[in-house]
Amino acid sequence: TTVNFALVGLGSLATNQIAPALQKTKHAKLVGVVTGTPSKEKVWADKYGIAKQNIYNYENFDKLAENGDIDVVYIVLPNGMHKEFTVRGAQAGKHVLCEKPMANNSDDCRAMIDACNTADRKLAIGYRCHFEPHHQHCIELARSEKFGELKAIEAGFGFKIGDPNQWRLKGDLAGGGAMMDVGVYALQACRYLTGEEPAEITAQETKTDMKKFAEVDETITWAMKMPSGVMCYCSTSYAFNGINRFNAYGEKGSFGLDPAFGYGGIKGKSSAGPIEFENVDQFAAEMDAFAKCILEDRQSTVSGEEGLRDLLAVEAIYESIRTGQRTKVGSV
Ligand code: NAD
């Protein structure tokens, strides 16, 4: 049995990663698209055999309610649009897979969760690393205390951002800068390795280009203390390439991935030697997992609450930068 997906927003990620991944999935099938660019309709129809009645735009999106062929809408729009299309998708009776970061702020995350609960639809966030074998192995190393009780984690992800006019640099569409876009991978790693929620956060921001980063953050470093006492030291940046890793330190050894957060090419090592697994298509694994949750009526492990917890931590990070104070993280 398959679950039928429609992609909402046919930008870079949808075109280059998600649609190709949908050719490899076992339980998820690409049957529909939603686009604001009429010229893309024929391109996608021809390439993926999308039926005319399964092609929508942002105005007639709500008519999805009358379309029984489509089970899931996968929201691949700029962050600031995730809330609107998740809510409208749920109201149209569709399950929703929404890209990370879940939304611009925690209030929007709550509205998305509520809309999906009210409509009795499932909601998941595109946290692909949860479905990646190197990451899964590291979670297992942390949980089994193979290298002793965890004491500290270092994690960071950043890249040098190009085009100064892109939506990622606009406050309303992006919700924030490097932190929202790629900092969440470092934050996620700390959360899934420890299985804990940060209790307190301190953070600081560095800005070198005031014009380019007028509306969003450029570089942030932050420290989080987990309730068990594990210390997490993290960074994210839009200013330079290279940091893409985590390392976890236990009482008897350490383990980590570098590079950690790309679509492939993930490499790891521990005190016991290399960490080697096959690199899988993370998007295919993520979509198959969500399809199975729908088929088996289970909640996703990367639920809306999981997305909300990240936004609560991100808000504490921004608050700490604003106030210069150690900040407590809000609760779900
Ligand atoms: P993109 O700019 O390539 O695509 C965005 C799409 O939204 C485009 O098709 C664009 O036409 C459409 N759009 C509609 N209204 C728009 C508006 N007002 N301004 C700009 N674009 C508008 O972006 P992307 O890289 O595909 O990112 C889309 C989402 O996917 C983001 O939430 C991003 O964080 C997420 N993403 C996730 C990963 C991952 O590894 N999980 C990787 C890249 C992006």
146 and 117 inside one domain: no
Continuous segment of H or E residues that includes residue 21: helix 19-21
Distance from C-alpha of 17 to C-alpha of 148, rounded to nearest angstrom: 37
Helices (H) and strands (E) in the chain, counts: 11, 15
272 and 289 inside one domain: no
Residue 287 backbone phi and psi in degrees, to 5: -70, -40
Measuring from atom 20 of ligand 1, which residue has the nearest CA? 167
Continuous segment of H or E residues that includes residue 194: helix 184-194
From the first residue on, what is the mean pLDDT of each consecutive set of 10 residues in the chain (332 residues)? 97 98 98 98 98 98 98 99 99 99 98 98 98 98 98 98 98 98 98 97 98 98 97 98 98 98 98 97 98 98 98 98 98 93
> In this structure, is residue 311 part of a structural domain?
no
> In this structure, is residue 320 part of a structural domain?
no
Domain membership of residue 67 as a residue range = 3-128+284-301
Amino acid symbol at 135: H
232 and 143 inside one domain: yes
Count: domains in the chain: 2
CATH number, domain at 123? Answer: 3.40.50.720
21 and 139 inside one domain: no
Tokens of 210: 């005031």
112 and 243 inside one domain: no
The CA-based angle 153-158-161, given to 5 degrees, is 170
271 and 137 inside one domain: yes
96 and 188 inside one domain: no
ipTM of the complex: 0.99
> In this structure, is residue 197 part of a structural domain?
yes
> In this structure, is residue 27 part of a structural domain?
yes
Parallel/antiparallel/unpaired status of strands 95-98 and 123-125: parallel
Q: Name the residue of 18, 40, 56, 99 to mutate for ligand 1: max ligand atoms within 8 A of Cβ.
A: 99
Q: How far is the CA of 12 from the centre of ligand 1 (A)?
A: 7
| Residues flanking ligand 1, CB < 6 Å | 9-14, 36-37, 76-79, 99-100, 126, 128, 167, 173, 181
pLDDT tens per residue across span 117-166 = 999 999 999 999 999 999 999 999 999 999 999 999 999 999 999 999 99
100 and 141 inside one domain: no
98 and 115 inside one domain: yes
Distant-in-sequence, close-in-space partners of 46: CB < 8 Å, separation ≥ 6: none
> In this structure, is residue 312 part of a structural domain?
no
CATH number, domain at 147? Answer: 3.30.360.10
253 and 293 inside one domain: no
> In this structure, is residue 310 part of a structural domain?
no
Tokens of 23: 């050719």
Q: Name the residue of 39, 57, 77 to mutate for ligand 1: max ligand atoms within 8 A of Cβ.
A: 77
262 and 295 inside one domain: no
Tokens of 66: 């009358």
Q: How far is the CA of 214 from the centre of ligand 1 (A)?
A: 20
* Other Cβ atoms closer than 10 A to 322: 11
Q: How far is the CA of 271 from the centre of ligand 1 (A)?
A: 39
> In this structure, is residue 247 part of a structural domain?
yes
Measuring from atom 11 of ligand 1, which residue has the nearest CA? 11
> In this structure, is residue 332 part of a structural domain?
no
Contact between 90 and 102 under an 8 Å Cβ cutoff? The reply is: no
Q: How far is the CA of 81 from the centre of ligand 1 (A)?
A: 9
101 and 166 inside one domain: no
Distant-in-sequence, close-in-space partners of 64: CB < 8 Å, separation ≥ 6: 6, 56, 70, 73, 89, 92, 93, 94
Q: What one-character-per-residue DSSP string does 276-325 give?
A: --PPP-HHHHHHHHHHHHHHTT---TTBHHHHHHHHHHHHHHHHHHHH-S
Q: List the catalytic residues.
A: 100, 185
Tokens of 256: 């980590």
Distance from C-alpha of 189 to C-alpha of 195, rounded to nearest angstrom: 10
Ligand 1 atom at shortest distance from the alpha carbon of 15:
26
pLDDT of residue 137: 98
